[in-house]
Amino acid sequence: MSTTVPALVAASAGASFERSTIERRDVGPNDVQIDIAYAGICHSDIHQARAEWGAGIFPMVPGHEIAGIVSAVGADVTKHQVGDRVGIGCFVDSCRECENCLAGEEQFCLKGNVATYNGREYSGEDTYGGYSTQIVADENYVLSIPEGIGLDVAAPLLCAGITTYSPLKHWGAGPGKKVAIVGMGGLGHMGVKIAAALGAEVTVLSQTLSKQEDGLKLGATDYFATSDPETFKKNAKRFDLILNTVSADLPIDKYLSMLTLNGSMVFVGLPENAQEFRVFSLVGGRRSLAGSNIGGIRETQEMLDFCAEHGLGADIEVIDADQVDEAYERVVKSDVRYRFVIDTATIAG
Ligand code: NAP
Ligand code: ZN
Ligand code: ZN
């Protein structure tokens, strides 16, 4: 048994999006049904819809920045009620018994969590994401969106927010720490806001100075263009933490040269290609090169509450269903300020 709901579907890798329908499972005892209001467009959607990370599961309905209202709950649901403002991020289930799940780090589930789309439920069903009007998910993987954050500006927090919040917390961004955010896109602009709200001194490293004014308004105190070779000299050995949100290849050694003693450069951007660096760039300053992947459910809720407390949401451009292909092109050209969010009411046509 299932329900047919409207969705934006890519039939094959790189295909344009078409209005179509998908099946959502009936609401089980532990399930929450959500009427989706907004779905953010993450660069990961583009990587996957274009099969840049390997073959994807098609037809594909991307979207893991989902915000909406609960429209039905199963008999055993205790965490959410009809009418609640809720969100779903990058995964909709995990094994719940491995050490990482038990520690609240379901993003690192040892069995492999169930991705919100381009994934498979443990029962074998394909998963479909937020470019749709409704979704059904287990209550434990549904977040509460606090009052005070609009659903439209909250949607991107479910990926861009947590993906920057988690490493900023883990690597101790706060008062007295110098943090550089590389890339002023969807993740990057949230990284700037969150790092500043945590009390760190924030510098943006962008390809050009075209978004400098915005970066300073969002909380950065410095802004440099990486197209200018002087940037790397001026900021030599400066940063405790460099958070790299770039979706493309970077000359990593040049970035490592800007880390202070014991500094860390953390990748959250996921370029298609293997990256290169010289070991000498690390050992000279006892530096670390690391990576981070979204965040667990508990930390995602903590991030949403933190954003509400600090009045943070994403800077967005709301688009209709028929503008998604064009939005993808613009994201790839770094022409987004700073997240496209689909008004899912326009999907039904
Ligand atoms: P985005 O909005 O496209 O932002 C990426 C930014 O990177 C751009 O705005 C641009 O910033 C910079 N950039 C793009 N091409 C570049 C190039 N050739 N050289 C240097 N800089 C370049 O993308 P996003 O949604 O923030 O996602 C960023 C990356 O993170 C993607 O690879 C995505 O898949 C990945 N991601 C990872 C996780 C995780 O958990 N690890 C979660 C979500 C997303 P400037 O214009 O300022 O230079
Ligand atoms: Zn994402
Ligand atoms: Zn697990």
Q: What is the pLDDT of residues 264-286, one digit of tens each?
A: 999 999 998 999 999 999 999 99
| Ligand 1 contact via 190 beta carbon (within 6 Å) | no
| Ligand 1 contact via 231 beta carbon (within 6 Å) | no
Question: Per-residue pLDDT averaged across 70-81, rounded?
Answer: 98
Beta carbons within 10 angstroms of residue 175's beta carbon: 8
Polymer length in residues for the chain: 349
pLDDT 10s digits, 216-254: 999 999 999 999 999 999 999 999 999 999 999 999 999
| Ligand 1 contact via 331 beta carbon (within 6 Å) | yes
Burial-class residue 63 by CB neighbours within 10 Å (0-12, 13-18, 19+): buried
| Ligand 1 contact via 304 beta carbon (within 6 Å) | no
Question: Per-residue pLDDT averaged across 321-339, rounded?
Answer: 97
What would the two tokens of residue 24 be?
Answer: 């959502």
| Ligand 1 contact via 206 beta carbon (within 6 Å) | yes
- What is the spatial distance between Cα 191 and Cα 243, in angstroms, rounded to a whole number? 8
Ligand 1 atom with the smallest distance to the CA of 339 is: 2
How far from each other are the two terminal CA atoms of the chain, in whole angstroms?
25
pLDDT 10s digits, 127-174: 999 999 999 999 999 999 999 999 999 999 999 999 999 999 999 999
| Ligand 1 contact via 183 beta carbon (within 6 Å) | yes
Give the distance (Å) from ligand 3 centre to CA of residue 108: 7
| Ligand 1 contact via 44 beta carbon (within 6 Å) | yes
- What is the spatial distance between Cα 211 and Cα 96, in angstroms, rounded to a whole number? 42
Question: Per-residue pLDDT averaged across 307-312, rounded?
Answer: 98
Task: Please check the confidence at residue 326 and state whether its pLDDT lies above 80.
Answer: yes
pLDDT 10s digits, 37-65: 999 999 999 999 999 999 999 999 999 99
Give the distance (Å) from ligand 2 centre to CA of residue 280: 32
| Ligand 1 contact via 313 beta carbon (within 6 Å) | no
Ligand 1 atom with the smallest distance to the CA of 107 is: 40
Using alpha carbons, select from 243, 327, 248 the residue that is nearest to residue 42.
327
CA dist 223 → 8, 227, 292, 338 (Å): 37, 12, 24, 17
Give the distance (Å) from ligand 2 centre to CA of residue 175: 28
Domains and CATH numbers, the chain: 2-159+295-346 (3.90.180.10), 161-291 (3.40.50.720)
Cis peptide bond prior to 59, omega within 30° of 0 = yes
Task: Please check the confidence at residue 349 and state whether its pLDDT lies above 80.
Answer: no
Question: Per-residue pLDDT averaged across 76-101, rounded?
Answer: 98
pLDDT of residue 325: 98
Give the distance (Å) from ligand 2 centre to CA of residue 233: 32
Mean pLDDT, the chain, whole residue set: 97
Question: Per-residue pLDDT averaged across 93-104, rounded?
Answer: 98
pLDDT of residue 1: 75
Task: Please check the confidence at residue 185 and state whether its pLDDT lies above 90.
Answer: yes
| Ligand 1 contact via 207 beta carbon (within 6 Å) | yes
Ligand number, closest to the Cα atom of 186: 1
| Ligand 1 contact via 42 beta carbon (within 6 Å) | yes
Q: Using H for helix, E for strand and C for coil, what is the string for the chain?
A: CEEEEEEEEECCCCCCEEEEEEEEECCCCCEEEEEEEEEECCHHHHHHHCCECECCCCCECCCCCEEEEEEEECCCCCCCCCCCEEEECCEEECCCCCHHHHCCCHHHCCCCCEECCCCECCCCCECCCCCECEEEEEHHHCEECCCCCCHHHHHHHHCHHHHHHHHHHHCCCCCCCEEEEECCCHHHHHHHHHHHHCCCEEEEEECCCCCHHHHHHHCCCEEEECCCCHHHHHCCCCEEEEEECCCCCCCHHHHHCCEEEEEEEEECCCCCCCCCCCCHHHHCCCCEEEECCCCCHHHHHHHHHHHHHCCCCCCEEEECHHHHHHHHHHHHCCCCCCEEEEEHHHCCC
pLDDT band at 92; cut points 50, 70, 90: very high
Ligand number, closest to the Cα atom of 273: 1
Ligand 1 atom with the smallest distance to the CA of 293 is: 40
| Ligand 1 contact via 248 beta carbon (within 6 Å) | yes
Q: Whose CA is nearest to atom 12 of ligand 1?
A: 183
